[in-house]
Amino acid sequence: MDISELQRAIKEKYYSIDKKSGPLFLLAVLFEEVGELAEAVRKNDAEGIEDELADVLFMILSLANLFGIKPESRLVEKYIKGDPTERWDLP
């Protein structure tokens, strides 16, 4: 399953709940999940990282569905076809 198929499946199953919850609630949950991901990374917990990455991706796709956005093509444009590394402050 690619990202667009995953996004479509998430929309079919969760859009009505997400619409009732609203964007600020979904954003708050995304922030919570990112915090949990940070904790798993801090602990170097590979299983926890995998679990939290799934939660973060789910929340991102839920927000994208709520706003009618398909991030897959923009990701390809910015990071595969483009190269933003020149703007990154890396040592």
Amino acid code (one letter) for 64: A
SS3 8: helix
Confidence band of 88 (pLDDT split at 50, 70, 90): confident
Instruction: Please say if the pLDDT value at position 62 is more than 90.
Output: yes
Nearest to 27 by CA among 76, 73, 72, 67: 67
Question: What confidence category does residue 64 fall into, taking pLDDT thresholds of 50, 70 and 90?
Answer: very high
User: Are the C-beta atoms of residues 23 and 66 closer than 8 Å to each other?
Assistant: yes
The string of pLDDT tens digits covering residues 28-58 is 999 999 999 999 999 999 999 999 999 999 9
pTM for this one? 0.89
pLDDT computed for residue 22 by the predictor? 97
- DSSP code for 76: I
- Which domains occur in the chain, in start order? 3-87 (1.10.287.1080)
